[in-house]
Amino acid sequence: MPKPNQDDSLQDEFLTDILDTPPAETEPELEPSPEAITALPSTPTKATVPDVHERGPFGRLMETNFLQFASYSICDRALPTVEDGLKPVQRRILHAMWEKDDGRFSKVAGVVGNTMHYHPHGDAAIKDAIVTLANKRYLIQGQGNFGNIFTGDEAAAARYIECRLTKLAREQLFSPKVTSYVPSYDGRNKEPVLLPAKIPLSLMLGVDGIAVGLSTSILPHNFPELLEAEIAILQKKPCPTLLPDFITGGVMDASEYNDGNGSVRVRAKIEHRENEKNKLFITSVPYGITTDRLAESIEKAIKTKKLPIRHIDNFTAEKVEIELSLAPGSDLEKVRKALYAFTECERKISSRIVVLKENRPVELSVSEMLADHARRLQEIFAAEFRVRLAEIDQLMMRKTLEAIFIENRIYKRIETVKTAEAVSMEIRLGFTPFLDIIGHDITDDEIEMLLKIPIRRISLYDINRHNEEMEALRQEHAQINDDLQHLARYAVKFLKGLQKEYSKLYPRLTEVADGFQEIDERALTSTELTLRLSEDRYIGYDIKQGTPLFPCSSLDKIYLVWSDGRYRFIPPPDKLLADAEYEPDKEWLNALRTRQPVRYFAAGIYNRDEVFTCVYYEPLYGFTYIKRFTWGGMIMNKDYSLVPEGATILLLYRGTPETIYVKFKFLKYQRFSQLAFDPQKVRITSASSKGIQMTSKQIERIDTKRPTWWTASETASESSPEGMLFQ
């Protein structure tokens, strides 16, 4: 039996943490007594899922590997951290660029190579992440062809394009003195655990990620607006409402967006220019939609007769410019609404913020993320202040030692000394009267520092300059101590400086609307299509010549019924063969079934609750049946049967006729040659149900209106004034 290993215990701890459920306590197994065995029920017990420790080696291996993969994909690939707002690959790219940064552009291929020292995945993923960051403007500045976010064109190869850190990234993301480092995946280098980011990166950039059982969708927000909101949080004021801002612009309805949760609807900007008659111009696209994809959706809508557009010209380069030439006499406002209703000119984008906090996935809101960043920002400043205070203390001590050493001519004491030990002794003796000033015995390192002072520096020593430098250090020390006691105030001052510097560089691109007017799609397309039946028995809206059947919308569902009772629900077809030969699949019905091609019988717009009346003939027993029904639910493009197999539909009527007139085939000694039936006596059932018997006679003619062949005198018989229905 395999021994439990360390992986099993780690697995139990992981499951306990995730599910917040204590592990089940195991009790020692006891042998049952003979009395208990005889008392056991005869029915078998229900099988239970074995415990983790009771499973075989393969089961334990699969569970362990799955949990390891799940935690790896969540923590090391898909989700950003709330502390610095970056995914691991983004953090490694920025760190690699900062290490080699000299202010000039570097080949992206070189940056990819440097990043691979830290990132365990391939070069293609790193290059794609660099291009994505460059297209988001804030952190990486690109030079060359980095693709086009509007058209969807891909970037050039990594060897042809260059990049460098922006001023914002260089100044606000790195502080090695307060950064913790860990060994890289191969142990040859050290990479930062987190970057001390002083700006809320995940909310600025926007993040999408999919992991095992988790996904995140953080929409990008406007940088100056984020700074303003964080200032309000630091000043303990209510956080203002923050709305997404997309780099592709557009118009946004955020009525369903609540502090990072919910969704927004984004529309393209569609303009009409006075000097361009009968034309519309699209000047922005919804976030995540390219102009090529948008043009394809417009062409599809044109093909299905939803848009009266004759020509599309795509002039997009640095800005979106799609020119739409409309058909003469088109209503511009109606076409604009149809573009929003039937194309990618409008898109709904969902938002759900899932991030890593202390290396565990949590779901947060925008205000919670900003509050967390405000706290983190103060911690970064506090750490930097403490480091700087230690540096100032060290610098002031060094300058004090130098002043005592030079002003009191202690260096003269070592001119006649010949050994290193004697030199150290003379310097210690020279500093003995000044121990109260320096506060400690002079160390060997300090002696070594004093001995390295150049003679030129000693001869040119200026006591006044020394006093000025010491005073400046004291003032800086006092100011840092004051800022350390008022971190929120300092953070507000810092953020206001960023706001002043960058507010003009990053204006809001997406226009916020009070709310989009709901578009009645069916009203736009209620009669846009006309189905016709051609002479060669094709049905569709692309048929130019033929018998018009009825107008419909491209949003309607159409029912088609054939004479053998088969029916189907389909979208309005462009051109569909309505008639087809029907080959029976049961040999014993061949003799009873009429050898006729199955013909198109009826078509119309689907309405699940609309009542129909159907009369059909079943040759198996020679009876004719009637039923009233509604379509009910349906599945598109699936064949259904309205009548039993082998039967033939004689009448299909929308609604319930007042009377059904029937003329029978002539038979000698036949009492009645025609009858009138009242279909309102038939109860309404489902479409698949069997009808009730109407007559056993062979029907020659049937109609719902009094036809010319009807003879009134025959119906007036006293024995049978109307046809009898066998309920």
- Domains for the chain: give ranges and CATH numbers: 72-221 (3.90.199.10), 269-344 (3.30.1360.40), 367-502 (1.10.268.10), 526-715 (2.120.10.90)
Q: Tell me: the pLDDT tens digits for 65-85? A: 777 777 777 777 788 999 999
- Residue 56 main-chain phi, psi, to 5 deg: -75, 175
What three-state secondary structure class fits 469?
helix
Spatial separation of the C-alpha atoms in residues 328 and 306, rounded to whole Å? 15
Short-list 559, 551, 556, 558, CA closest to 528: 551
Amino acid at residue number 529: L
Confirm if 82 and 372 have CB atoms less than 8 A apart.
Answer: yes
Q: pTM to 2 decimals?
A: 0.73
Spatial separation of the C-alpha atoms in residues 563 and 646, rounded to whole Å? 10
Amino acid at residue number 458: I
- Pick the more confident residue, 40 or 291: 291
DSSP structure class, residue 694: E
| pLDDT band at residue 585 using 50, 70 and 90 as cut-offs | very low
Place of tokens 């900003």: 370
Average confidence score pLDDT of the chain:
85
Q: Tell me: the pLDDT tens digits for 214-248? A: 889 999 999 999 999 999 999 999 999 999 999 99
The pLDDT value given to residue 331: 87
Place of tokens 């004697």: 422
To the nearest 5 percent, what fractions of the chain are helix, strand and coil?
Answer: 35, 20, 45
The pLDDT value given to residue 588: 41
Q: Is 113 exposed, middle or buried (0-12, 13-18, 19+ CB in 10 A)?
A: middle
Q: Give the Cα-Cα-Cα angle 634, 635, 641 (nearest 5 degrees).
A: 65
The pLDDT value given to residue 595: 46
Q: Tell me: the pLDDT tens digits for 337-354? A: 889 988 999 999 999 999
pLDDT of 559 above 80? yes
Spatial separation of the C-alpha atoms in residues 144 and 162, rounded to whole Å? 7
Mean pLDDT of 293-314: 90
The pLDDT value given to residue 723: 65
Spatial separation of the C-alpha atoms in residues 141 and 125, rounded to whole Å? 19
Q: What proportion of the chain, given as a percentage, has pLDDT over 90?
A: 54
Confirm if 487 and 381 have CB atoms less than 8 A apart.
Answer: yes
Stated as kind and residue range, the H or E segment containing 354 is: strand 354-357
Which tokens hold the place of 49? 């899922």
The pLDDT value given to residue 298: 94
pLDDT of 718 above 70? no
Short-list 661, 630, 546, 645, CA closest to 593: 645
Q: Tell me: the pLDDT tens digits for 388-418? A: 999 999 999 999 999 999 988 888 888 888 8
pLDDT of 43 above 50? no
The pLDDT value given to residue 630: 94
The pLDDT value given to residue 583: 44
- Tell me how far CA of residue 123 lies from CA of 88, 93, 189, 208, 511, in angstroms: 15, 11, 18, 20, 37
Spatial separation of the C-alpha atoms in residues 282 and 320, rounded to whole Å? 7
Q: Tell me: the pLDDT tens digits for 413-426? A: 888 888 889 999 99
Short-list 727, 683, 590, 692, CA closest to 645: 590
Mean pLDDT of 172-192: 94
What three-state secondary structure class fits 176?
helix
Spatial separation of the C-alpha atoms in residues 723 and 695, rounded to whole Å? 8
The pLDDT value given to residue 92: 94
Spatial separation of the C-alpha atoms in residues 639 and 560, rounded to whole Å? 10
The pLDDT value given to residue 415: 84
Confirm if 177 and 387 have CB atoms less than 8 A apart.
Answer: yes
The pLDDT value given to residue 48: 57
Which residues are identified as catalytic?
160
Spatial separation of the C-alpha atoms in residues 97 and 86, rounded to whole Å? 15
The pLDDT value given to residue 719: 39
The pLDDT value given to residue 53: 56
pLDDT of 483 above 70? yes
The pLDDT value given to residue 522: 60
| pLDDT band at residue 461 using 50, 70 and 90 as cut-offs | confident
Spatial separation of the C-alpha atoms in residues 665 and 695, rounded to whole Å? 12
Q: Tell me: the pLDDT tens digits for 184-204? A: 989 999 999 999 999 999 999
pLDDT of 582 above 60? no
Spatial separation of the C-alpha atoms in residues 96 and 112, rounded to whole Å? 9
Cα dihedral value 375, 380, 381, 383, nearest 10: 120
Q: What proportion of the chain, given as a percentage, has pLDDT over 70?
A: 86
Confirm if 94 and 195 have CB atoms less than 8 A apart.
Answer: yes
pLDDT of 694 above 70? yes
The pLDDT value given to residue 546: 86
Spatial separation of the C-alpha atoms in residues 222 and 506, rounded to whole Å? 7
Short-list 526, 543, 542, CA closest to 534: 543
Q: Tell me: the pLDDT tens digits for 432-446? A: 999 988 888 899 999
Confirm if 208 and 220 have CB atoms less than 8 A apart.
Answer: no
Short-list 354, 349, 352, CA closest to 79: 354
Which segments of 365-486 does DSSP mark as H helices, in order?
366-407, 420-431, 435-438, 444-451, 455-459, 463-485
Nearest-10 crossing angle of helices 332-342, 291-303:
110
Spatial separation of the C-alpha atoms in residues 427 and 414, rounded to whole Å? 8
The pLDDT value given to residue 376: 95
Identify the weakest region by mean pLDDT among 4-18, 260-274, 559-573, 590-604. Answer: 4-18
- Pick the more confident residue, 298 or 43: 298
The pLDDT value given to residue 44: 45
The pLDDT value given to residue 61: 73
Which segments of 54-146 does DSSP mark as H helices, in order?
57-73, 88-99, 108-115, 123-135
Separation of CA 78 from chain center = 13
Q: Tell me: the pLDDT tens digits for 606-643? A: 999 999 999 999 988 889 999 999 999 889 989 899 99
Q: Tell me: the pLDDT tens digits for 310-331? A: 999 999 988 999 999 998 888 8
The pLDDT value given to residue 528: 72
pLDDT of 700 above 60? yes
Mean pLDDT of 15-33: 41
pLDDT of 135 above 80? yes
